Chains A and B, each alone.
Chain A
Amino acid sequence: TQWNKVIANITTHYVKETPQRTKLLDVFMVFLVVVGALQFLYCVLAGNYPFNAFLSGFSATVGQFVLAASLRIQTNAANKSQFPDVSPERAFADFVGCSLILHFFCINFIN
C-alpha cells in the first residue's frame, strides 16, 4: 500500500544518497537509541530506585544522541548553506567538547 511505498522510497533514498561516514554516524545513533530503550525498559520493569542513576544514564544516551544528530546535520554537505561558519572539522571539535561536558555532568550526577 501507500505506506509500504513511502518506506521503500525512504530506504532507497537513504542507501543511495548517504555517504559512508554519515552511515557510520547513523549506526552510532541507532546504538544509542537501543541502549536508551534498554535502560528505559529496565527502569519500567525493575523500578526507578536510584533515580539519579537512571536519569544520568538515560540522559547520557539522549544527550549523546542529539549531539551526534547535530554533528550529522552540520557535516552533511546538503546543509552547507545553513552553516556558513561551521566547517566539518569545527563541527567535530564542537561535538567532542560538548560530549566532554555532557559526560562530566553525567558522571557527577550518577554519584
Chain B
Amino acid sequence: MAVKTAPSVGVEIHADEKSRRLFRVAILALIAGAAISSRLFSVILDPWFNFRATKYLVANGFYNFWDWFDDRTWHPLGRVTGGTLYPGLMVTSGVIYHALRALTVPVDIRNICVLLAPACSGLTAVATYLLTNEMTTSPSAGLLAAGFMGIAPGYISRSVAGSYDNEAIAIFLLVFTFYLWIKSLKLGSMLWGALCALSYGYMVASWGGYAFITCLLPLHSFVLILMGRYSNRLYVAYTTWYALGTIASMQIPFVGFLPVRTSEHMPALGIFGFIQLVGFIQYVRSAISGRQFQTFLMTLVAITFVLGIGALVGLTSLGYIAPWNGRFYSLWDTGYAKIHIPIIASVSEHQPTAWPAFFFDLNMLIWLFPAGVYLCFQKLEDQHVFVIVYALFGSYFAGVMVRLMLTLTPIVCVAAAVALSQVLDSFLTTATPDKETAIKESEAAAKKPNKNGGLSAFNKPVVGVYDRISKVVVAGAMTTYLILFVMHCTWVTSNAYSSPSVVLASRLPDGSQHIIDDYREAYQWLRQNTPQDAKIASWWDYGYQIGGMADRPTLVDNNTWNNTHIATVGKAMSSREEVSYPILRQHEVDYVLVVFGGLLGYSGDDINKFLWMVRIAEGIWPDEVKERNFFTARGEYRVDDGATDTMKNSLMYKMSYHNFQNLFPPNQARDRVRNSALPEKSPELDTLEEAFTSENWIIRIYKVKDLDNVGRDHASAAAFERGRKKKPVAKKGARALRID
C-alpha cells in the first residue's frame, strides 16, 4: 500500500522502500522469535485451574463449559465455574486446539496451554510496534519498542512458557486495544472504534484488569476535553467504543451488570454523558452568536454538572451503584487491605514495589521512560496526551502493587523507544548543513526563540551533533546500553523468572543440580492411594494444584471468592484438636495436607503462612482465634520451647512437627527455616494419623480418624493407647476398679 501511494519519483525509491519494508518485517519476525525463545528457559505448566478448565472445555464442548458446575472444589459448596471465570483464555486455547486439529496437526491440549503465553508475547511485540508507530513519525521507534516489549523482564515474569495465566493473553489485548483506540481517535472512524470495542470485549473476557482500560480511556478523553482539544473525532471514537464496548463486556457472565452497577465503571459512563453534552454545545456554538452562546453555555453546563454529580452521589449512597470493591479500593487507600481484608494483603504480589524492582524489571528503560514522557509533552497531540496519562496512572499503580508492574511495562517500552529513537535519529541521520545555510538559520533562530521545543543543541550550527566524533560516541554509547539491556534481560529471565513453583531446584556443594520433587510426589500419592472423592483440606494456596495434579476435591482454592470458607479452614488449622476435629468432620474432610519446609529450609511453608491463617480466621471468629495468643509475652513468633501453648497446641504446629524430632539425635532437632531448636518431644496427634510424608518432608498428609469404635473421644482414646503401651500398671489399676 505504502509503495503504491508513494509518489513515483523513480524506480530507485521504489526499490528502497521495498527493501525497507522487507527489513521491517524481518526485524519484527526476529523480535517475535526472540520474545518467544527467551520465554523457554523452563517449560512447566503452572496455573492448574486454567488448565483444568481448558481440558473440560475441550472434552465437553463450549456449551457445557459455559454452564459448568464444578463440584470438586469448595467442597460442600461447589463453584459455578462458568459464571465465575474469565473464559477468554480457555476459549482461545480451545479454538487453537480445534484449528490445529482441522489442519491435521493433532497437538495435545497441554502443549497448547504451555506455549500460549510465548506465542502471545510475540503478538504483543507486534502490537507495541503498531502502537508506537502511532506516537511518532520516527521509523525506528516502533521497532525499538517492539524489541523492548519482547524481552523486558517486567512482562516476561508473567508470560514464561507454561505460565498459563490470564495475563498471558491479556497484555497483548491491552496493548492492541490501546492501539485501536489511538487509531480510531486519530481517524475519527467508527469502524476503528468498533474494532477497539471488540478488542476491549475480548480483553474483558480474558482478564479482570480490563477495568484499567475502562478507566484510562475516559480519563484520556476527559483530559483532552479539559485541554480544549475536543473534536468530532473524539466524539465518534469515544461514543462508538463505549456503546459497543459496554454491551460487549456485559455478555461475559462474570461481568454481567457490573458496567452499570459499580463505581469502577462510572467514569466511563460519566464521560459518555459529558461528551454528549460537549458535542451538543459545539453544535450550538456554530449556530448562534458569541454573546448568546455564553449565557447558554453557563446555564447548561452548570445545571448538568450539578445534576450528574448529584445523581452519582445519590445513587451510590442509596445503594443502586455499588461502591468501590475492596481490591480496587485498596489501590487508593493503601492501608485498607491490611486492616479490613487480610486475604488481599496476604498475597505477596499485592505489596508495594521497592525501588530495585523497577531497575530489575526494566533496566535502562526506567530512566529512558521519563525522557520519553517529556518528549511527548513537547509534541502534545491527542495520542501523546494518552501516553502521558497512561504513564502517570501506570506508574502510580505499579508503585502501589508489585503485580501491576505488568501494566506499566508497555508504556515504559513505548516511551523509552520514543526517547531513544529521538536520540538515535538526531545523532545518526542528521546531515551536516552547509556553512551558509547554517549561519542563516542560526541568525533566524536567534531572532525568533524556538517554540517547537527540542533540545537546544539541535538548533545550533555546524558544530555539535553534526560532528562525526560526537555521532560515533553517542551512538556507540547507546548501542552499548542496548547490548547490556539484552544481557540483563536474559540474565534476569533465566535466573529469576524461570523457576517453576512445583519443582524446586537446589545446588549440591559440588555444583550439580538437585531436583526436589516433593509436590508432585505427594500429589501423585494422593491420586493413586486415596478414593476418588476423598476431600483434601489444605491452605488455599495449594487448592488449584491439588485439583489439577491430584484430581481430588478440595475445600478452598486460589479463587478466593468465599472468605468465610477460607476462614473456616484457617480456624481448623489454628485451633486445638478438640475444636478442629468437629470442623473437619462437618466438612467431610478425609485428608489434611500441610507444607513443611523445616527439614530443607524451604521458606514458603505453612508455618510461615500461619499468621495469615490466624488473621483471616480472627476476622470471622474474633473470640475463638486470637493472633495475640500465638506470640510470646515479648511479642515473638517462636516454634521452639518458648512457643506459647496456643501455638504448640494448634493443629498446624502439631501436623508440621509431628515425629520430626525422631529424625535427629535426641535434643538436636532443628528447624532450618525458623532456625531454632525444637522441643525435645514431638507433638502428639490424637485425631489425625500420618498418612504420607514426602521424601524431603515438604508435604505431609494426614488422615482424619474416624469416630472411636467404643464412643470415647479421641483424646482419651489416644491417651489410653499410649498409656497401655507404656505403663501396664495403669491397666491393672483400671481393672481393679471394675471389681465392685
Contact check, A14 vs B287: say whether CB atoms are below 8 A apart: yes
Q: Across the two chains, which residue of chain A brings its CB closest to B247?
A: A105
Question: Is the C-beta of B295 less than 8 angstroms from some C-beta in chain A?
Answer: yes
Residue of B whose beta carbon sits closest to that of A102 = B244
* B341 interface residue per 8 A CB criterion: no
The A-contacting residues of B in range 175-212, CB under 8 angstroms, are: 187-191, 193-194, 197-198
Across the interface, which residues of B come within 8 angstroms of A82, CB to CB? 188, 231-233
Q: Report whether A67 and B191 are in contact in the complex, using a CB–CB cutoff of 8 Å.
A: no
Are B250 and A109 in touch, CB under 8 angstroms? yes
Interface assignment of B240: CB less than 8 Å from any CB of chain A: yes
B325 within 8 A of A: no
Contacts of B248 in A (CB 8 A): 105
B429 interface hit (Cβ, 8 Å):
no
**Residue B426 interfacial (CB < 8 Å):** no
Prevailing SS type, chain A contact patch: helix
Interface residue count for B (Cβ, 8 Å)?
36
Check B235–A67 contact: CB distance below 8 A. Answer: no
Residue with the greatest number of chain A CB neighbours at <10 A, chosen from B187, B276, B287: B287
Provide the residues of chain A in CB contact with B244, threshold 8 Å: 63, 98, 101-102, 105
Whether a CB of chain B sits under 8 angstroms from the CB of A35 is no
* A71 cross-chain contacts in B, Cβ below 8 A: 190
- Residues of A near B242 (CB, < 8 A) are 66
Chain A neighbourhood of B313, CB < 8 A: none
Contact A98 B191 (CB under 8 A): yes
Residues of A within 8 A of B193 (CB): 98
Check B247–A56 contact: CB distance below 8 A.
Answer: yes
Of all chain B residues, which has the CB nearest A16?
B287
Q: Which of A13, A97, A101 contacts B288 (CB 8 A)?
A: A13
Main secondary structure of the interface of B (DSSP, over half): helix
Q: In the complex, which residues 54-106 of chain A have their Cβ closer than 8 Å to any Cβ of chain B?
A: 55-56, 59, 62-63, 66-67, 69-71, 73-74, 78-79, 82-83, 85-86, 91, 93-95, 97-98, 101-102, 105-106
Question: Once the chains bind, are B236 and A73 in contact (CB under 8 Å)?
Answer: yes
Q: Does B289 contact A (CB under 8 A)?
A: yes
Evaluate contact between B243 and A74: CB separation under 8 angstroms.
Answer: no
Minimal beta-carbon separation of A86 from chain B (angstroms): 6
Closest Cβ neighbor of B260 among chain A residues: A55
Find out whether the CB atom of B188 lies under 8 angstroms from the CB atom of A97: no
A98 pairs with B233, CB closer than 8 A? no
Q: Is the CB of B191 within 8 A of A55?
A: no
Query: Within 8 Å of chain A (Cβ to Cβ): is B586?
Result: no
Could you say which of A9, A14, A66, A95 contacts B239, with CB atoms under 8 Å apart? A66
Known interface pairs A59-B247, A67-B243; A95-B190 also in contact (CB < 8 Å) = yes
Considering the chains assembled together, what is the distance between the CA atoms of A74 and B231 in angstroms? Answer: 12
Residue of A nearest to B256 (CB): A52
Is the C-beta of A21 less than 8 angstroms from some C-beta in chain B? no
A20 sits at the interface (CB 8 A): no
On chain A, the residues within 8 Å of B602 by CB distance are none
Q: Which residues of B contact A106 (CB under 8 A)?
A: 247
Which B residues are in CB contact (< 8 Å) with A2? 292, 295
B251 touches A108 (CB 8 A): yes
**Bound complex: CA of A93 vs CA of B194, how far in Å?**
12
Q: Report if A51 contacts B (CB, 8 A).
A: yes
Chain A nearest Cβ from B639, distance in angstroms: 54
Asked if B656 is at the interface of the complex by the 8 Å CB criterion, the answer is no
Counting CB contacts under 8 A, is B284 at the interface?
yes
Q: How far is the CB of A54 from chain B (nearest CB, A)?
A: 10
Seed contacts A9-B287, A10-B288, A67-B240; 16 additional CB < 8 Å A-B pairs: A2-B292, A2-B295, A3-B295, A10-B284, A10-B287, A17-B287, A59-B246, A62-B243, A63-B247, A73-B232, A74-B188, A83-B188, A83-B232, A86-B188, A94-B189, A98-B194
